[in-house]
Amino acid sequence: MAKINNAFITLASIFALASAAQSCITINDLNVPGAEILNITSILQTNVSAPAPPPDPAYTGISFCDVTIVLTHPGGNDTVTVEIWLPTTGWNSRFQATGGGGFSSGIGSALLGPAVAQGYSAASTDGGNLGFGFQINPEAFDSDYNVIPGIFEDYIYRSVHDMAVVGKAVTEIYYGKAPSFSYWNGCSTGGRQGVNEAQMYPDDFNGIMAAAPVINLGQDVIAFEWPYIVMNNEKTFPSQCVFNTFLNASIAQCDGLDGVKDGLISNIKDCDFDPYSLVGKQVECDGTSNTISHSVATVYRKILEGPRTPSGEQLWYGLELGVRTNDLYTGDANTATSNGTTIAVPFPVTDEWIKYFLKLDPSYDTSTITYAESAELFAQSVNDMVNSSSNNPDLSPFHKAGGKMIVWHGLSDNIAPPGGTLNYRHRVESLMGGTGAVDDFWRLFFVPGISHCGGGYGPVPTDPLAAIVAWVENGTAPDTLAAQFTDPSGAVVNHDICRYPLVSRHDGKGDPKVASSYTCAESF
């Protein structure tokens, strides 16, 4: 039943609400290939407030038909919930599916609210609940700690495709016509889900916006844990204040490589900062004087290098120069200081992943992992995840279907190494004809100074989804993404992000806070 929160309401409004409420309760007879519908419920939600990504204020006054569908896959012992929000007025004839983060396949109102406020019909899925945020769901495993059949498949690929099928079908039933265009929007796990859709279900979406995609699961599991492994093996635990000394020194050395001193390392390729140059430097942290030691510089260097074998062979990518080791989200190189003692803190998602998926033992002590054992775990992880890492470079079906994709990744990502995304891009280019050919349907943007999915100390893309919409619907392929942030002085900085393989360079004369003062030049 409709919830009427206004003190005064017109007769026409009552009829409109009644009509919308009726359409909510008549959604049925859905067909999802390979799945069985268990339950469908719907309710009219009026004058709802929904969160918005910081720093935007919450969206208020949203009214929508809230449809919840529960389904299962025969023989899978799984239960998947899909929620679709359908705006009662102002539908823009588009459908938007939204992604998850960590172990969550979807994050609900955090993305649904903004989507509906912009006129989209929008969907989210719990993906069978492999986990919630940074925590695994123990109920997704049997007594021997094997994941229950079907739930892992739901998390990796199946639930997103089902959401696309269900979401578009419900949209058509509700409005009496199919959406004109369908889009994906997600970051981190949500970024991986989007890229995986392009690989496995190229007809699901016309446009995909995938940020900081974790598309190399097998490799990334150990890469994310690597800083924790390094600190425990070196028995050296720098505080975040000490880590920031390396950050600030690398910025001071390499900031000007793009032609302007603006606090950003835009050109990491030519930045040759040496962590050992700080050995012996005195640092004031929380009222205490610290001396940067050789062992601290070694920890920082190894974190930047990424996972290696005991003999030094590189296994995967590390974090980049200019990274804030702990910012906005819990970073890979997280430490905590209490009463003068600093300890290493593991990244929760991969710590749980190692325990449940690699060791099959939730009580396993990851702090004991040696360099030799980490190499063995890396090999096991890559082997176990060979069919689940969402990094198949063959995007030709997506290209043939006319799909367009934008991926952006912060160069200062403190969780997912941007090198993994670049590696995938190179593999796609090698298979599909080079940078120009791939740019016809997929454009990649590396964002200086930005941490995982946002935060950091640089301009964040303001509306990359709008860029993919313009590309799909108007043929306007983006050479740049508009980005913005507020600097420490309180000034608003606008700075366009250049598409790979170009980087932003200052023109030598314009206001560094204005986007028009920059051009895109070769670097990578």
**DSSP single-letter state for residue 241:** H
For 494, the enclosing helix (H) or strand (E) is strand 492-494
First and final C-alpha spacing in the chain: 57
**Per annotation, catalytic residue among 154, 204, 332, 413:** 413
Collapsed DSSP state (helix, strand, coil) of residue 419: helix
Contacts of 373 (CB under 8 A, 6+ apart): none
Write the burial class of residue 54 (CB in 10 Å: 0-12 exposed, 13-18 middle, 19+ buried).
exposed
Lookup result for tokens 């020194």 = 249
What is the Cα–Cα distance from 13 to 63, expressed in whole angstroms?
A: 13
What residues pair up with 227 in beta bridges, in sequence order? none
Q: Which of 300, 307, 317 is nearest to 375 (CA)?
A: 307
CA–CA distance, 297 with 286 (Å, rounded to integer): 20
∠ CA(503), CA(498), CA(437), 5° rounding? Answer: 100
Q: Provide long-range contacts, Cβ within 8 A and 24+ apart, for 165-168.
A: 165/32, 165/33, 165/204, 166/30, 166/32, 166/69, 166/71, 166/82, 166/84, 166/123, 167/82, 167/84, 167/95, 167/97, 167/121, 167/122, 167/123, 168/95
Alpha helix (H) ranges present in 201-340?
Answer: 217-234, 240-254, 294-305
Nearest to 188 by CA among 452, 381, 404: 452
Q: For residues 126 and 323, what is the distance between their CA atoms, to the nearest angstrom?
A: 31
CA atoms within 13 A on the CB side of 261: 4
Q: Rounded distance, CA 413 to CA 327, Å?
A: 9
* CA distance linking residue 200 with residue 197, whole number of Å: 5
Active site residue: 104, 105, 188, 239, which one? 188
Peptide bond preceding 448 in cis form (omega within 30 of 0): no
Given a contact cutoff of 8 angstroms between Cβ atoms, the answer to whether 167 and 118 are in contact is no
What's at 150, amino acid-wise?
Answer: G
The amino acid occupying position 347 is: F
- Judge whether 452 counts as a catalytic residue: yes
List residues bridging with 39 in a β-sheet. 70
188 is a catalytic site residue: yes
Q: Is 49 left (phi over 0), alpha (psi -120 to 50) or beta?
A: beta
Write the DSSP symbol of residue 76. S
Among the residues of 149-235, which ranges form H helices?
A: 151-153, 159-175, 189-200, 217-234
Are 420 and 216 contacting, i.e. CB atoms less than 8 angstroms apart? yes
Structure tokens at 70: 């529960």
- The active-site residue out of 161, 399, 409, 452 is 452
Active site residues: 188, 413, 452
